[in-house]
Every structure is written in C-alpha cells, then in structure tokens.
Structure 1
Amino acid sequence: MLSAPLPTVEINPAEAPVAVVIWLHGLGADGHDFEPIVPELHLPADLPIRFVFPHAPEMAVTAFGGQRARAWFDFDPGGGVDSPGLEKSVRQVRDLIQYEIDSGTPAERILLAGFSQGGVLAFHTALYYPKRLAGILALSTFLADSESLGSEKARVNAQIPILMCHGQQDAVLPMALGKSALEALQGSGYAIEWREYPMGHEVCMEEIQEISRWLQSVLAVNS
C-alpha cells in the first residue's frame, strides 16, 4: 500500500476525484489551516476534487527568534529565504505529486496551491516541474528566485494557469512583494490572473469565491 511522503490532512469527494489540489500552508500554521475553506468553495458535485493539506516539518525559525514551528524553510526577514531548506521542501512536494500520480491522478490534473510561505514553495515547485501540472494558486506570497526563471523554468509549464491574490493592507508580506513576483513572472512570459483585496495577511470571502471560480475553470472536465 502506498504511503504519503509527508503527514497530510485529506478531504476526499464522495466520487472518484477528477483532480487533486495540494495546498501548502504558511509559516507557523499546519495542514488544518485551510481545511475549513473547502466547503466554502461550494464546488459542484460533478467536479469531485481531492484536497491534500500537508504538514510542514517543525524547525527552528529565525523570524520567530529561533523558536520551533512548522515551516517549509527557515525565514529571516533581514536575510531572506533559506534556499537549501526551500529545495528540501521542493523535493518533498515533488514526492507528494508523485504519490498522487502513482495513485492514479495524472500530473496535468494536479494543482499546487499555497499561502504565504506555502505559496513560495508552490511557485518554486511547479515552475520547474518536468511534467505539465494543472495550475498554481498563489495567495499572499512572493517569488523566492526570479533570476533562474529564464534559464531553468520548465518549458512544459510555460503556459500553466496562475492565479495570484494579495491583500492591499498586508503588513506581513507587503503587496509590493506580490507585485514584484507578478512582474517577474509576466516578464518571463507567464499569463497571470491577479486579484487584490482590502485585507491584511489573510483570506476573505470575496477571494474564496474567486478561487472557486478559477478552480472550476482550470479543472473543468471536458465532456
């Protein structure tokens, strides 16, 4: 029997899923953080989607004064992203994707979503993944490394659908960081849907409704 490479929270539809969304939480949260959002999406019964919410491992986090917390990589507000830690998490998420592929879902029906630090990981995994994926949902986040997009990005995902959402009053990751990522991605040829909302480092109901619309559009099954 197959076993997932990371501990996860899973929400499975009543019928066999036609797609899988792997949703990555933010710094200091866990896989339960976005679990309540699934029923709020009000997805139609004829689009059964499996949601997988992995738990990041615990580690000492510089931004938290060295206290241990669930994190996809160490983060120092003054020093930026821990690249080796990020790459380690990329490998773990790739293993999650492979687990879903081995369980019967093709890569092109697997979508990566992430909030904050989880969004950084979603970008860094999907943009360089060697098989076509369904899409990237990037919430209140930024791009860890735009320099390598030109030379290292995966051509097979050059047209990947991307929805970016950000709060205009985000004091944790200011919207300027999101806009910088937007410009870098557009400069590398990606087509982005961008939405901003009068909120902080969080999600709002209007955003959830937009996410639902986008997921239904991206993951629709042609009859």
Structure 2
Amino acid sequence: MAKMAAISSVVKLFNPQVVSQTGQTCTASIIFLHGSGDTGLGIKEWTKSVMGREIAFPHIRVIYPTAPMRPYTPMMGNPSTVWFDRKQISPFVPEDESVPDMCEKLSALIDQEVKNGIALNRIIVGGFSMGGCAALHIAYRYRPTIAGVFGLSCFLNENSDVYKH
C-alpha cells in the first residue's frame, strides 16, 4: 500500500500532460521529458508545432511530465524546472548527486503505467536536451527492460554512469 501511495504522490509531483490514445484500448506508453527550464506542456506544444499536429496514436498514450522546481547551479542557484542539477554546463564535470533521485522518482511514472496495465516492454522513455539525458539514465541504469529510449539534442557527461551500464 505504501508503494501505491508513493507512486501517486510522485505522479502528482510531475503534473503530467497526457495525450490519450485515439482508439479504445491503450497498449503502450511514451514518456517524453522536456529540457531544462521547460515544462511538460511546453514540450507538448513544441512537438505539436514541429509535427503540425499533436503526437497521438490509436493505442499509445503520450505522457509529458514537468520537472519539479529545484535550485539550478548554472542559473546561480535560482529555481528552475530541471530534472537534476549540474555544477557546470560542461561534459567534463562529474554528474550531480541529484541524478539517481530523479531517476527513482521518474521510475514511479513507469510504475504507474504498469499499474495501468502497460507492460514494461511496451513503454518508451525519451526526451529533449536534459530530458534526453534523464531518459538515457533511466533506460540504461534503472529500467533496462523498457521497450526503448530516445534522446533529442541531448548529452551525457564524459564519465557518465550510463557508460558503465
């Protein structure tokens, strides 16, 4: 029961924008993570402007979560909607210690989809910029049995833990 409460509270934390499947049955999910300083609504609207229509499928739900506000060092510690902190915008610094916590919290969104009847091998996680980096961490370090991962214009630090996995 505690795990379900934890899932529910984390899902609320991310305030996801959801595009439901266009057909009657949902059999797969895509979780699309935004870049630093953006929101789920922002990346949803961006994809719509690029595609000329909303990303929608007969049997796939598309979820656009929003990162919680947190202090962001590259912005002089001012709060921003970022998935994790970075000490510098450089690939040559260690990954921040906030990366694992973010991956665990985002994994709760995957758990919610599984609770909703979607198999892990029918869930894709991806993102743009920092969201793509977060997706790579989730897929390779925390959820290697998901269906796939994508990253658009994203990055990994030179000594990223992702390379070890």
User: What's the TM-score, normalizing by structure 2?
Assistant: 0.78
CA contact (8 A) 2:137 2:162 kept: no
If each structure's helix is expressed as a fraction of its own residues, which one has the higher value?
A: 2
Find the aligned partners of 1:65 and 1:115 in 2 and give their Cα distance. Answer: 23
Hey, what does 1:94 align to over in structure 2? Answer: 107
Matched position secondary structure for 1:33: helix
Counterpart among 119, 122, 134 of residue 132 in structure 2: 119
Using a 3 Å threshold, how does the CA distance of structure 1 residues 143 and 129 change in structure 2: closer, same or farther? Answer: same
Q: How many residues align?
A: 151
Counterpart among 88, 93, 96 of residue 83 in structure 1: 96
Letter in 2 for 1:135: G
Find the aligned partners of 1:49 and 1:136 in 2 and give their Cα distance. Answer: 15
Q: CA deviation at 1:100?
A: 0.4
Using a 3 Å threshold, how does the CA distance of structure 1 residues 49 and 140 change in structure 2: closer, same or farther? Answer: same
Give me the CA root mean square deviation: 2.6
User: What's the TM-score, normalizing by structure 1?
Assistant: 0.59
- Stretches of structure 2 that go unaligned for 5 or more consecutive residues are none
Range with bigger deviation, 141-150 or 15-24: 141-150
- Stretches of structure 1 that go unaligned for 5 or more consecutive residues are 154-223
Determine which structure has greater relative contact order: mean sequence separation of CA pairs < 8 Å that are 6+ residues apart, divided by chain length. 2
Matched position secondary structure for 2:102: helix
Matched position secondary structure for 2:17: strand
The percentage of counterpart residues that share the same residue type is 26
Hey, what does 1:56 align to over in structure 2? Answer: 67
Hey, what does 1:71 align to over in structure 2? Answer: 82
Matched position secondary structure for 2:44: coil
CA contact (8 A) 2:94 2:160 kept: no
Matched position secondary structure for 1:122: helix
Letter in 2 for 1:7: N
